[in-house]
Amino acid sequence: MGFDHKTHDIQPVLSSDDVPLEAARALYILWDDKRGQRLMPARRDFDPANMRALLEDIVLFDVDGAESRLRVRLHGTRIVQMSGLDLTGKYLDQIPGSENVGRRCQWVIAHKAPTFIRKVQLEWSQRSYRRYDVLALPLSANDKDVNMILFHLTFE
């Protein structure tokens, strides 16, 4: 894949060494462990009770239909506090300023692979002065199609 100004910030994650932040790295290691020999783990592989420390920093997207429309299933409490918005239940294409988030999600769907992105501006909130790092992990109910995307955000 050549350089593309629309995807230049996307860094594929090939191992836990590619994730420099401790909590995000721990989630990547858990994701990698749960997937085993599969391309991607499924949502059912994760028990939220065992992830309590991470939940406040998680966004979980449902990937709806052939058009891969994205709906926010879970918007963690720390993310709500930092952004001033609770986006739970909203479709990404209805959220002003979310185009780059959608582009990153589409990359994860197309490549069926995790990515880590540094210093992202909070464009989808009036608090656009804030920045965060994000780990994006694909989930699949059938190990073929991405039906959910798990984001872990770390704010500066």
120 closest CA partner among 142, 139, 149, 97: 97
Residue-level pLDDT at 3: 28
Residue-level pLDDT at 121: 66
152 closest CA partner among 53, 57, 67: 57
Q: Domain 11-155 carries which CATH code?
A: 3.30.450.20
pTM over 0.85: yes
Residue-level pLDDT at 8: 52
21 backbone dihedrals φ, ψ, rounded to 5°: -100, 135
**Alpha carbon distance 88, 76 (integer Å):** 9
What are the start-end ranges of the H helices in 3-151? Answer: 22-35, 52-55, 77-83, 99-111
Task: Give the model confidence (pLDDT) of 72-102 as tens digits.
Answer: 999 999 989 888 889 999 999 998 878 888 9
127 closest CA partner among 155, 92, 89: 155
**Alpha carbon distance 17, 25 (integer Å):** 8
Instruction: Give the residue ranges of the chain where pLDDT is below 70.
Output: 1-8, 120-129
Task: Give the model confidence (pLDDT) of 24-33 as tens digits.
Answer: 999 999 999 9
Q: Please enumerate in sequence order all residues whose Cβ is within 8 A of that of 113, keeping only pairs 6 or more positions apart, or say none.
A: 12, 13, 138
Residue-level pLDDT at 125: 60
